[in-house]
Amino acid sequence: MEESYKTSKSAWFKGQPKALALYSSIVAFLAYASIFAYRKPFTVGSYEDIHLGDFSYQTVLIISQVVGYMLSKFYGIRFIAALRRRGRWKTVAVLIGISWFCLLLFAITPPWFGIVCFLVNGFMLGFLWGIIFSYVEGRRSTDFTGSVMAVSFIFAGGFTRSVAKWLMMKFGITEMWMPFFTGAIFALPLAIFLYLLEKIPAPDEADEAERTKRIPMAQQDRRVMMQSFGTGVFLVTLTYVFLTIMRDIRDNYMANMWRELGYGSNYGIFTQTETITSVIVLLMMASLVLIRKNIIAFRVVHLAIFIGFLMAGLSSFFFVLGQMDGAIWMQLTGLGLYMAYIPFNSIFFERMIASFRIAANVGFLIYITDAFGYLGSVIVMIVKETIRMEINWSSFFAWGVIGFSIIGLLGIFSSLQWFNKKYKSMNLP
């Protein structure tokens, strides 16, 4: 079945690897950017007139969605690892349809039911990164294509919020209906991009020779891999947990922080800053495609993550001291966090599998780190609400980044040391 699937679609780009890489990058970028329209725009609303007991309604919705997202990551460790190529578009269509229907229910049901709506919405959307990435992994061009796709959630996070804010300011769409109508704008484009994704052929023999063949992983495959690489995966996951916490706080409460910094009425600020970050991160990460030797690229990825933590921590330190403008701080902190975050969602595990010649797929490893990353994010948000912290989000975020950047620097350095020793012990060419 898989072989016939591969053969049936190879004619589109036969003998044109560069055209295929460019096509795959653009389509994957636009597809996942469109998916963000069903996930993040609701955070633009402040929902200040609605409270569930003493809890902020906005925070309750964010926690509900992140819990759903986290649960999908834990389930996705098995589901995405065993994913087969045929029929993926149907899975995506069903997941998006349910998540969008939840946004409709959110608009027409009592506020308390919004908890259920965003729990289910988050659960459905949590599988989509792994499915979309499965179209582009295991290729000589995956560093470039994966980087383009990964920066989509930097750009899309800002762009879809700008669209949501625009709907509210220009057309008077209420906070309750804004998430549904934002999704409506992106429904047709997403359907088109999903059709185009299906036209991407499977990796060819040259791809498999350089990056290893990617296979659906049964339970025994997953167990064997973790027995050999469990320590390294643990170190990476621990680092990623702290990174996800701060990246997720920035992503979920970005609108709040911009309001505190005096940019509340500027609905274009999200797109402006996140586009700059997207372009810079894309150029840096995509340049790794020029490094053909996998283990060298794997080490360089560790270095990029280290520099990202360092940039985020130092910029926050100077902001706290009052020696950096708030807008510049948001830009630099976002750039640093995404320099560290993007590789884990595209290049890190791609090059790890290729370096150690592992019979596996990227989705399995991404969903392990994501599951625990979002668990950490949920714990922080619940603790914040439980102990009734009335905080200034920009100050809280800045201090958090300083602390977690130190932990992240130690974690990624330890990861590099462990994988270097593992590589030498295996006597790989």
Q: Compute the average pLDDT of residues 227-244.
A: 93
Residue 200 lies in a domain: yes
Residue 212 lies in a domain: yes
Residue 5 lies in a domain: no
Residue 128 lies in a domain: yes
Q: Compute the average pLDDT of residues 365-386.
A: 87
Q: Compute the average pLDDT of residues 148-158.
A: 80
pLDDT band at 188 (very low <50, low <70, confident <90, very high): very high
Q: Report CA torsion sign: 311, 423, 150, 66.
A: negative
Angle between helix 142-150 and helix 152-171 axes, rounded to 10 deg: 30
Range of the domain at 245: 17-422
Buried b (16+ CB within 10 A) or exposed e, 375-388: bbbbebbeebeeee
Which of the residue ranges 92-101, 212-221, 225-234, 416-425 would you say has the lowest mean pLDDT? 212-221
Residue 52 backbone phi and psi in degrees, to 5: -110, 95
Mean pLDDT of the chain: 88
Q: By the 8 A CB rule, do 240 and 373 touch?
A: yes
Note the pLDDT of residue 5: 44
Note the pLDDT of residue 8: 45
Note the pLDDT of residue 12: 60
Note the pLDDT of residue 2: 47
Residue 351 lies in a domain: yes
Q: Compute the average pLDDT of residues 296-307.
A: 95
pLDDT in tens, 256-286: 888 888 876 666 677 777 778 878 888 888 8
Q: Compute the average pLDDT of residues 309-325.
A: 93
Residue 2 lies in a domain: no
Cα distances (angstroms) measured from residue 185 to each of 103, 163, 219, 319 = 13, 9, 40, 37
Is the pLDDT score of 225 beyond 80? Answer: yes
Note the pLDDT of residue 266: 67
Q: Name the more confident of 282 and 185.
A: 185
Is the pLDDT score of 246 beyond 50? Answer: yes
Residue 398 lies in a domain: yes
CATH number at residue 389: 1.20.1250.20
pLDDT band at 14 (very low <50, low <70, confident <90, very high): low
Cα distances (angstroms) measured from residue 211 to each of 194, 233, 345, 408 = 25, 19, 17, 28
Residue 10 lies in a domain: no
pLDDT band at 377 (very low <50, low <70, confident <90, very high): confident
Per the structure, the count of domains in the chain is: 1
Does the global pTM surpass 0.85?
A: no
